[in-house]
Structure 1
Amino acid sequence: MLKIILCLFAFGYMGISLGEDATNKSLPIVMWHGMGDTCCFSFSLGSFRDFLINILGSNVYVKSIRIGNNVVEDYESGYFVHPNKQVENACQQIASDPKLQNGYNAIGFSQGSQFLRAVAQRCPEPRMNNLISLGGQHQGKKCVFGLPNCPSLSSKTCDKFRKMLNYAAYTSWLQDYLVQATYWHNPLKEEIYRKSSTFLSDINNELNINQTYVENLKKLNKFVLVKFSNDTIVQPIDTEWFQFYTPNQDRVIQPLAESNAAKNLGLNDLVASNTIVFLETEGNHLKFTTEWFKKNILPYLNGEI
């Protein structure tokens, strides 16, 4: 989400560094961008990569997942390449990167968060240590207007997407055509969602239980879920904490422990073992300060946790 990610850098990082000693404990970092962004724009994730190197030390290795041969194809993939294909590609990139073979930490931005979780569940080698989810939609999202504050696309295109998602999200052609349809979650159509979602219901073990997904999630050291309390992009924002509406209505949020996803993925055990960490910050989608990031997220990247 390009326009939102740009807000991250409005505060600047003022050239503050933790020095080279930090790299002695820091694992490499894999990042995955959100909808409407790419791996490497100098004014979005490229700048964030520089920020991480600045605070962790110049020896830290940061890989930003790119799907396709260039940034244009990577941008388009965020809308039009099925997540299963993207995750398979990302797994191949990670497995073939010699700098990641001893493990890595991962940072997902918005939909990149659930994509990286799929990597953790489907491709446990090399090992993902800590997974940091910034505004990820782990129980999907649902909004009567489709794509609120639709970023980086024309209003005409956004309106087209809204209509398609609201009326045809669970058709096979749209599941194949539009990435956002694969994690579209309509609480008023739970049964249709579970049977027709070609990505989210699978990685959430909602149709069939894949015990491998459960075991691989347990291999995470920490799974950090960051919710943005004033988020206008994601509805409901509780999905950023792996929660969603109670089935068959769209007002009351179901406690995490009661959800099918939590039960079927073993999330209740991860909560009990403090593997899952719930963090919240003020601000709109993906908007946080440097000070907040350094205090709350940096310990998961520099080897402290």
Structure 2
Amino acid sequence: MCFRSLSALVLVLAACSHVSQAVLPIVMWHGMGDSCCNPLSMGSIKKAFESALPGVYVRSLEIGDSVVKDTENGFLMNANDQITQVCAKLKQDPKLADGFNAIGFSQGGQFLRAVAQRCPEPQMHNLVSVGGQHQGVYGFPRCPGANSTLCEIMRKLLDVGAYVSFVQDHLVQAEYWQDPFHYDEYVEKNVFLADINNEKTYNAAYKTNLQKLSNLVLVRFMRDTMVQPSISEWFGFYKPNSDKETVSMKDTRVYQKDLLGLQEMEAAGKIHFLASDSDHLQMNQTFFEEQIMPWFK
């Protein structure tokens, strides 16, 4: 998560000074290297949402019992365990009983999609994925956040082997690592992404629950130097057996085999593709105000 870019959005949100009707609660999930309440990022965004949308309830998800653990867990806590923890938190929150809108930053985007698929109560209505990697990644050219030690651990574990069971169980980023040259191994050994994309053991509930979304908003950063390939943010990926040529969502296995109901959602006008001509999470004021904010009003 890029703290500088998120803190800049505070001014954007504060400019949206009123709403004409009640708005749904908002659930936010931060990205790698960030935490729920960092005053320079998610903490400021939460306060700005509350200021821009009077009366709105905003829950910025904390994974663990402290900000420090929250940051560490973004690297080292099994994604499935994180999803289970979040599902319990949301179900136990009475302020979310009538449903909510959600926004996920970077890996928080695919994590919130997993919540929608696995835990349909309370109901998630709109999901805005800001740079989420829905078909995974194949490479990490740079690592965000202030903790260089955790970044180094991540790189070393990926070097050992992304599909080694120990790495899969203990490194979040390996859990959405998809090797386009070894698809069968990915399906067999990946413990998170292959499951939520219904490529491992087909789960009809995943498809049914995802289709309950009113809108799935996918934000891609066209100059992204962190996510490889950036088209994963639009549900695309590398062409099989290539790490250079990419394919759009419509040409992926997940879409063509209709594993998640993306065909039906697209036909119903529920999937929206937004493009920011910037690096990862580096949105400008106009983009955020005009393209993202309306989904929460």
TM-score range, shorter chain: over 0.9
What do residues 64-102 of structure 1 show as CA deviations (whole Å, max 9, x unaligned)? 111111111111110111011000100011001011000
Distance 1:272 1:17 in 2: 31
Distance 1:51 1:153 in 2: 23
- In structure 1, stretches of 5+ residues that fail to align are none
- In structure 2, stretches of 5+ residues that fail to align are none
Q: Cα 1:157–1:300, aligned 2, differ >3 Å: closer, same or farther?
A: closer
Q: How far does residue 215 in structure 1 lie from its aligned partner after superposition?
A: 0.3
Q: How far does residue 10 in structure 1 lie from its aligned partner after superposition?
A: 3.2
Q: How far does residue 206 in structure 1 lie from its aligned partner after superposition?
A: 0.8
Q: Name which of structure 1's ranges 148-157 and 30-39 shifts more when overlaid on structure 2.
A: 148-157
Map of 1:287 onto structure 2: 282
Map of 2:91 onto structure 1: 95
Q: How far does residue 297 in structure 1 lie from its aligned partner after superposition?
A: 1.2
Give the letter for the 1:78 counterpart: G
Distance 2:267 2:212 in 1: 15
Q: How far does residue 221 in structure 1 lie from its aligned partner after superposition?
A: 0.1
Q: How far does residue 154 in structure 1 lie from its aligned partner after superposition?
A: 5.5
Distance 1:279 1:45 in 2: 21
How is 1:151-300 mapped onto 2 (pairs within 5 angstroms)? 151-152=144-145, 158-262=151-255, 263-300=258-295
Distance 1:40 1:255 in 2: 35
Normalising to structure 2: TM-score of the pair? 0.94
Q: How far does residue 268 in structure 1 lie from its aligned partner after superposition?
A: 1.5
| Alignment counterpart, residue 36 of structure 1, candidates 33, 37, 40 | 33
Give the letter for the 1:281 counterpart: S
Distance 1:271 1:252 in 2: 24
Map of 2:15 onto structure 1: 16
Map of 1:6 onto structure 2: 4
Q: Cα 1:159–1:98, aligned 2, differ >3 Å: closer, same or farther?
A: closer
Identity across matched positions, percent: 45
Give the letter for the 1:299 counterpart: P
Contact 1:8 1:289 (C-alpha < 8 Å) held by counterparts: no
Normalising to structure 1: TM-score of the pair? 0.92
Map of 2:128 onto structure 1: 132
Contact 2:10 2:44 (C-alpha < 8 Å) held by counterparts: no
| Aligned-partner SS, 2:109 | helix
Q: Cα 1:153–1:289, aligned 2, differ >3 Å: closer, same or farther?
A: closer
Distance 1:134 1:11 in 2: 13
Distance 1:107 1:55 in 2: 16
Alpha-carbon RMSD: 1.6
What do residues 114-139 of structure 1 show as CA deviations (whole Å, max 9, x unaligned)? 11000000000110000000000000
Q: Cα 1:191–1:108, aligned 2, differ >3 Å: closer, same or farther?
A: same
What do residues 196-226 of structure 1 show as CA deviations (whole Å, max 9, x unaligned)? 1000000001122111000001100000000
Contact 1:5 1:287 (C-alpha < 8 Å) held by counterparts: no
Distance 2:278 2:248 in 1: 23
Give the letter for the 2:33 counterpart: G
